[in-house]
């Protein structure tokens, strides 16, 4: 099954804590967007997020960081879709050099992993060309 990938820059608006630290809930929001795309591609419907079985916050995320969030469906039930997600930091600001400097990381840093389940009611599922 094909996965989904989104990339976005964390803004000052996303930073809720001292030192421009981004709330971990922002990673879950990104995973929700990835899940929506996966469900549309699989079932032709946005579906609903039922819950997370596991969430691991592994490294801090700061305003200015670029995050890639990806996911894939790992199990398909009658209406449930089990998914795995990963968020990686791929670009970081370098304010120690100047206010607009940034570095692409040679190796992305995994900042969050999760496992969750979404549901697409049977009556909303459609055949989608894959």
Q: What does the pLDDT look like over 64-116, one tens digit per residue?
A: 999 999 999 999 999 999 999 999 999 999 999 999 999 999 999 999 999 99
Burial of 79 (C-beta count, 10 Å sphere; 0-12/13-18/19+): middle
Q: In the chain, what are the domains?
A: 4-124 (3.10.129.10)
Tell me the pLDDT tens digit for each residue of 25-48.
999 999 999 999 999 999 999 999
Please state, in angstroms and rounded to a whole number, the distance separating the CA atoms of residues 21 and 58.
14
């Amino acid at each position: 099954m094909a996965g989904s990938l989104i990339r976005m820059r964390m803004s000052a608006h996303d930073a809720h804590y001292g030192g421009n630290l981004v709330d971990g809930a922002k990673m879950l929001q990104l995973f929700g967007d990835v899940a929506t795309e996966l469900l549309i591609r699989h079932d032709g419907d946005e579906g609903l997020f039922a819950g997370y079985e596991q969430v691991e916050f592994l490294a801090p995320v700061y305003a200015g960081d670029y995050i890639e969030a990806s996911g894939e469906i790992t199990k398909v039930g009658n209406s449930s879709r089990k998914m795995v997600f990963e968020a990686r930091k791929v670009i970081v600001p370098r304010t120690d050099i100047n206010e607009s400097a940034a570095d692409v990381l040679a190796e992305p840093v995994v900042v969050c992993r999760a496992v969750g389940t979404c549901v697409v009611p049977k009556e909303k599922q459609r055949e989608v060309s894959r």
